[in-house]
Structure formats: structure tokens, C-alpha cells
């Protein structure tokens, strides 16, 4: 019997998202584009006089906010259409139209930041007094002025905006190659059935108790990436090089400085993450040595790291069961939180089923004024339930933010976004451990999941961050990012992080090519910092410390109304101090000890 992926049209409607909540038809989508064109036409005459007076600045800023909210809907509708089936011509065309109008708007607004930056603090304060309505934009205006040293002249900003599609091409090509053109082929599962190998099914095979199944799936997946390694290297090289060029044009010392400065994140936060993680690699080495011993493996490879240590305690949940577990595990966050979660589950905010051509992985994307959307590729493994809880953390942060903030403060940065998602994961695992507290085998399974989640979120993402900084600094030196150089560095870091218990993969390994986040510009380190922050905040909530839930709801509602470091400090965490990282590693060490004890108990 052969099992192939569903076609999009065969997916049950209740497992798909409802994009008609954004626009009821493609015609409404086109009408929205025309409205943005109208806003652009009103903005253009102010390109050389936006700061001639407070009323001009207010008018242009108001028009930009209206256009931006409309563009959120345009992109949301197009991206949801495209991502549900990336091979579908209609979705491709909608996304292309959305990107064209977005880039046209960006080019039109190229005069805005240079003008506000040149206005100066004293003049801005005069404007705020002359036109009190401008106060609603105060933080954004000050943020623009803080970047004045890196803001270009109007014509230069306009040129960069026009070049943005070309700058982003490498990332788009890589996504198309990975999600649409790359074919992993068919593979025999443990029952001897021919099934389609995908990234989603490969994650299932990685948990198989059969070493041969794990090895065959990993080898076949790696072979597919190796077959196009030169293309992936070319796209990554092109993206990195473009970012380095842009950082130089904007008078930054590096691409990292450029990407962290927007949210006023000290580069020391990045370096401290890497250095503190290296100090705690011994904990990871010890855990993998323990894993190898329990599994009774003569040699343990990368693809053996996710197999459950207790094979007969594997937890499988359907999508409906996963939603029920999510609701029960997130109960400590209060009735209002659960009410919003029920809306998410009941009103088709989620696209759950995997289908042919669908974008891989999972994500959440908010459409201000409508609701968030979640993409999943559901399989009945525990990891899918964890992903649902993770993405729901993003979705509910969007709900709280959208209710508390105007559009222009609704796009909270990734640095705070990943706190909400990883805190939810912690609550899920706490709930599951209590639910199965009298079943040591299941507890061991859950602890393994939680420990592996910690490894994937802190150790692995820090490894990615270290690799990402390497490729940017190498390119800045003029060194070509060849496939061999990328593989050598990436695999070398894997060996350093994993320790002696994990053997080198016995075939060519280009795992670096499988990480789309390297196109997100110094994004991955925030997973690790967020997990550590969430560990502390989650502990306060579970311990029912006075005001913990209320402070967390204030955090969820803050959006982009202040810099991330300040918002997090109000919630009780100072990210400029290493203590939050040390605390997270102490929790990891404790869980490993707890796992070892669970494995020793009978039953």
C-alpha cells in the first residue's frame, strides 16, 4: 500500500484556515490594493515637506498607518493563499501582487525616516506641543531619531527600498527550492508500506525505535539536500553578502550591529549567550552519554538523538486531543486567556493538515483588525501538540497586543515574541508531568521531550547563532561561503556541542542547508534568550507568586510600545545580566537528574 500526501482540495475544511475573514474574495483583495495606491498618492506630495510643520507630519504618519494596516491584510491574505499550496499559480500571483504594492509603499515612504531623523529632538518636541495628536506616535518617532546616524538621504533610502525585492530574492529562491522543488522520494516505513518522505514524516521516523528506520530516513533526507548543496550555498551566500553590503551602506560596523540596533539590543547579549552556553556544554555531553547508554547503542548519531528513551510510553494525540490538552495545560494563565484560545480553536485560525505543496514547518502570523493565523503540518506525535501550544503563544500575544495597542505598536519584535511561545511549552510539560505523575515511563518520556526541547531551543539555537555570526564575519572578510566551508563549520560546531557520545554522520551532511532561519537576519539567538526568560517567568506563574499572571498579561499587551529590554525588565527579567541564563541551565540540570531517577523506577 502506498501513502501519498493529500492534495489541497482533499483537506477537510475544518482543518484549513479561513482567509475569507480577511477578504471575502480576490476582488476585495484587489480593492484593498487600490486603497493603498490611494494612500500612496496622498503621501507622495509630502516627500519634500513632511517636516515643514507638525500638521504635515501628522497627516503623513496617519496615512502611513492606514496604509500599513491595509497592507497587513493584503499580505496576510496572499501569504495564506500561497503557503497552503506553494505550487498553486493563484497563490503565487496573489503573493507577487502583495509584495509589489508593499515594495511600492516602502519606496514611497523612503523620505519619511530621513526627514524625521533630520528633524532633531528639540524640533520634534516643538511639534509634539504644537500638534498633541502626534503624541500617539511619540515612541516610534523617537526610535527613528535614535537611528539618525544610519538613516540615508531620501534618494538613497528610495533606491534601497526599490532594491529590496532583489535583496530578498535569495531567501525566496531557497524557500521555493525547499518547499516546492526538492523531492525526498518515497520510503518504506516500519510496516513495509511505501510512504512519501517529507520533513514532517522524517521527524516521525526520527523517533522510531528501529535504528535502521531512523538511519534510512536520515540518509535519504540528507542525500536530497546534498544533491542541491551548491544551489543552497549560492542562495545563502547571496543573502549574507547582500546584508553585509546594506550594513555598510547604512554605516554600521557589521550586519549584526545593524539587525540588533533596531530594537536597541546590546551586542553583548548575543556574545554572553554564546559564552555562557559554552560554559554549560558539559551538561549536554553528560546527557548524550546517558542517552547512548540507555539506548544500548554502540554508536549514536545525530538521527538517534530524538528516539524516546522509553519506547512503550510514546504519546500520540490527534489534533482534537491536542487542542484539549493545550486548553488544560494553559489554564494557569486565566479564564480570559482560555477564552481567546477557544476562539482560535473554534473559528479556523489554524491550517492543520499537511498537504502536497504546503509550506513546511509551523508559524503564526497576525492580521491586525482580523485575528492571528497559525500554520501547522500536523502528525499525531507529541511534538505536534507542543508546536500547537508554541504557536498559540504567539497567537494569544497578538490578541492581547491588538486589543491594547494601536496598529503602529502592534508588531512586537521577535525578541519578545518567542517568550510567549516558549513559556507555553513549559506550562504544557508541567501539566503533562503532573497528569502522569504515577506513571514513571510516561514521565520519563515527557521529561525527555522537555529536555530535548531545551536542547533544541537553547543549545541548538545558540549553535545556529554562532554559525550565523561566523558566515557573516567570513563573508565580510571576503571569504567565499562554499558548501564545503559551510559544512565544515556547521558540523564542527555540532561535534563541539554534542560531545564525544555523538558520532560524526557516516555520509555527507549538509544540515546547514535545512535551516530557513539563516535568511531571517540574526533571528535565531532570540529563541535561546526567550526560552531562558520564559523559564523564569513560567516558574513564577506556576508558583502562583503574587502579581505574576498580571505582570505577564501586561507583557503580552505591551506590543512594540517600548524597547524589548525595557518591556522584559518590567516583567522582572534583566537580559543584560547573565543570571537568567544560568538559572535556565540549572533547570536543565535538575530535569536531567529527574529523568535519570524516573528511569530507575519500576513500572
Cite the active site residues.
Answer: 391
- Residue by residue, what is the 3-state secondary structure of 55-122? HHHHHHHHHHHHHHHHHHHHHHHHHHHHHHCCCCHHHHHHHHHHHHHHHHHHHHHHHHHHHHHHHCHH
Instruction: From 8, 159, 19, select the one nearest 95 (Cα to Cα).
Output: 19
Helix (H, G, I), strand (E, B) or coil at 343: helix
**CB-CB contact of 24 with 72 (8 Å):** no
Structure letter (DSSP) for residue 547: T
d(CA 119, CA 127) in angstroms, rounded, equals: 10
In the chain, DSSP finds a helix count (H) and a strand count (E) of: 24, 6
**Residues constituting the chain:** 603
Instruction: From 83, 562, 52, select the one nearest 354 (Cα to Cα).
Output: 83
**CB-CB contact of 19 with 375 (8 Å):** no
Please give the C-alpha separations between residue 443 and each of 295, 307, 310, 377, 434, in angstroms, as whole numbers. Answer: 17, 15, 9, 26, 9
Order of strands, sheet of 363-367, starting from the edge strand that comes earlier in the sequence: 350-351, 371-375, 363-367
Q: Which residue has the cell 508546536?
A: 387
C-alpha cell at 470: 561566523
Instruction: From 442, 435, 325, 316, select the one nearest 388 (Cα to Cα).
Output: 325
Q: How many CB atoms lie within 10 A of CB 190?
A: 11
**CB-CB contact of 436 with 442 (8 Å):** yes
d(CA 455, CA 475) in angstroms, rounded, equals: 29
d(CA 290, CA 297) in angstroms, rounded, equals: 11
**CB-CB contact of 422 with 389 (8 Å):** no
Amino acid at each position: 500500500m502506498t501513502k501519498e500526501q493529500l492534495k489541497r482540495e482533499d483537506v477537510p475544511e475544518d482543518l484549513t484556515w479561513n482567509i475569507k475573514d480577511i477578504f471575502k474574495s480576490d476582488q476585495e483583495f484587489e480593492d484593498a490594493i487600490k486603497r493603498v495606491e490611494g494612500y500612496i498618492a496622498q503621501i507622495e506630495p509630502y516627500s519634500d515637506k513632511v517636516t515643514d510643520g507638525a500638521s504635515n507630519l501628522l497627516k503623513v504618519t496617519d496615512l502611513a498607518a492606514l496604509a500599513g494596516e491595509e497592507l497587513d491584510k493584503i499580505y496576510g491574505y496572499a501569504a495564506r493563499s500561497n503557503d497552503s499550496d506553494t505550487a498553486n499559480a493563484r497563490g503565487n500571483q496573489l503573493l507577487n501582487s502583495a509584495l509589489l504594492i508593499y515594495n511600492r509603499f516602502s519606496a514611497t515612504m523612503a523620505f519619511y525616516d530621513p526627514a524625521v531623523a533630520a528633524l532633531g529632538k528639540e524640533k520634534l518636541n516643538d511639534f509634539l506641543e504644537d500638534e498633541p495628536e502626534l503624541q500617539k506616535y511619540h515612541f516610534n518617532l523617537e526610535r527613528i531619531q535614535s537611528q539618525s546616524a544610519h538613516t540615508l538621504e531620501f534618494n538613497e533610502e528610495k533606491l534601497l527600498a526599490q532594491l529590496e525585492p532583489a535583496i530578498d530574492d535569495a531567501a525566496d529562491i531557497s524557500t521555493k527550492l525547499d518547499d516546492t522543488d526538492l523531492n525526498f522520494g518515497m520510503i518504506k516505513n516500519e510496516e513495509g508500506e511505501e510512504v512519501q518522505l517529507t520533513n514532517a514524516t522524517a521527524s516521525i521516523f526520527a523517533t522510531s525505535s528501529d535504528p535502521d528506520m531512523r538511519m534510512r530516513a536520515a540518509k535519504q533526507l540528507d542525500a536530497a539536500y546534498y544533491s542541491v548543496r551548491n544551489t543552497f550555498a549560492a542562495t545563502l551566500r547571496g543573502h549574507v553578502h547582500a546584508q553585509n553590503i546594506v550594513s555598510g551602506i547604512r554605516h554600521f560596523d557589521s550586519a549584526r550591529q545593524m539587525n540588533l540596533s533596531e530594537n536597541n539590543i546590546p551586542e553583548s547579549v548575543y556574545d554572553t549567550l554564546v559564552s555562557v552556553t559554552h560554559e554549560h556544554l558539559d551538561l549536554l555531553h553528560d546527557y548524550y552519554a546517558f542517552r547512548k547508554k540507555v539506548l544500548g547503542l554502540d554508536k549514536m548519531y545525530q538521527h538517534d538523538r530524538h528516539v524516546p528513551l522509553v519506547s512503550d510510553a510514546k504519546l500520540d494525540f490527534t489534533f482534537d486531543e491536542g487542542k484539549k490538552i493545550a486548553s488544560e495545560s494553559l489554564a494557569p494563565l486565566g479564564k480570559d486567556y482560555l477564552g481567546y484560545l477557544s476562539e482560535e480553536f473554534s473559528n479556523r485560525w489554524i491550517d492543520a493538515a499537511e498537504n502536497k505543496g504546503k509550506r513546511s514547518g509551523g508559524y503564526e502570523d497576525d492580521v491586525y483588525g482580523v485575528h492571528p493565523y497559525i500554520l501547522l503540518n500536523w502528525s499525531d506525535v507529541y511534538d505536534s501538540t507542543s508546536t500547537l501550544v508554541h504557536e498559540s503563544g504567539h497567537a494569544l500575544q497578538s490578541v492581547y497586543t491588538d486589543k491594547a495597542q494601536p496598529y503602529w505598536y502592534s508588531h512586537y519584535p521577535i525578541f519578545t515574541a518567542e517568550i510567549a511561545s516558549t513559556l507555553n511549552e513549559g506550562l504544557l510539560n508541567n501539566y503533562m508531568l503532573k497528569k502522569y505523575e504515577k506513571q514513571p515511563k510516561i514521565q520519563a518520556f515527557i521529561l525527555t521531550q522537555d529536555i530535548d526541547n531545551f536542547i533544541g531551543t537553547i543549545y541548538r539555537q545558540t549553535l545556529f547563532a554562532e554559525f550565523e555570526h561566523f558566515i557573516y564575519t567570513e563573508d565580510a572578510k571576503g571569504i567565499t561561503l562554499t558548501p564545503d566551508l559551510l559544512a565544515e563549520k556547521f558540523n564542527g560546531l555540532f561535534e563541539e556541542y554534542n560531545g564525544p557520545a555523538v558520532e560524526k554522520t557516516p555520509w555527507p551532511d549538509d544540515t546547514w542547508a535545512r535551516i530557513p532561519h539563516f535568511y531571517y537576519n540574526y533571528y535565531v539567538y532570540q529563541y535561546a534568550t526567550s526560552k531562558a526568560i520564559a523559564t523564569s517567568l513560567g516558574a513564577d506563574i506556576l508558583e502562583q507568586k503574587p502579581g505574576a499572571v498580571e505582570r505577564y498579561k501586561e507583557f503580552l499587551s505591551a506590543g512594540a510600545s517600548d524597547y524589548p529590554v525595557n518591556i522584559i525588565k518590567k516583567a522582572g527579567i534583566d537580559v543584560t545580566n547573565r543570571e537568567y541564563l544560568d538559572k535556565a541551565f540549572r533547570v536543565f540540570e535538575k530535569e536531567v537528574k529527574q529523568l535519570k531517577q524516573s528511569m530507575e523506577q519500576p513500572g
